[in-house]
Amino acid sequence: MVPPDITAPRSGLTSVDPTRDQMLVHLRYAHQIALQARAAGRHPFGAILVAPDQETVLLEQGNLDSVNHAEAVLARTAHAQFHPDYLWHCTLYTTVEPCAMCAGTQYWANIGRLVYGISEARLLEMTSNHPENPTLNLPCRVVFEHGQKPIRIWGPFAEVEAEIVAVHQEFWQLDS
């Protein structure tokens, strides 16, 4: 359940980084969202937003289509529901490193932390020039480095790579 005061500015709210164990638990939950997206016939990407306590899942979102990526839709929803001061202390978890559009949306939504499972470069290795996923070779770190906010980033994680890669290989019908 979401605390009632998260839509108002919060002075004195402190930032606590997630532990590695928390990151892995939340990445695996995001992966379950990706599996649900795939089961619905959509691209297998999943994202969740975790509260500053690094435990409470506030939002979850699967990929909708080639323009409405899981991370971007989640960030827009979060921006509409929560105050930017609160979001700065939240963490966005996603199965695959956000593309430039999703990184930009996270930046503008003021979500201060990001954890991702596999890199966009790894996705590009798998999908190549697939017409439904013309992946940009532009790491989110590069996008964030050109902004004025110190977004904290963790990823990729070898512990979840195999399970995330497997769903993409199956979905895109890839051999590598």
**Residue 115, strand partner residues:** 93, 154
71 is catalytic: yes
Tokens 């499972």 belong to residue: 117
Task: Name the pairing type of β-strands 46-50 and 113-118.
Answer: unpaired
Task: Name the pairing type of β-strands 113-118 and 57-62.
Answer: unpaired
What is the separation of C-alpha 166 from the centre of its chain, rounded to a whole number of angstroms?
Answer: 18
Token pair of 104 as six digits: 């930009």
Distance CA 85, CA 106 (A): 14
| Type of residue numbered 145 | E
Q: Say which of 71, 97, 161, 163 is annotated catalytic.
A: 71
**Residue 154, strand partner residues:** 115
Q: Name the residues annotated as catalytic.
A: 71
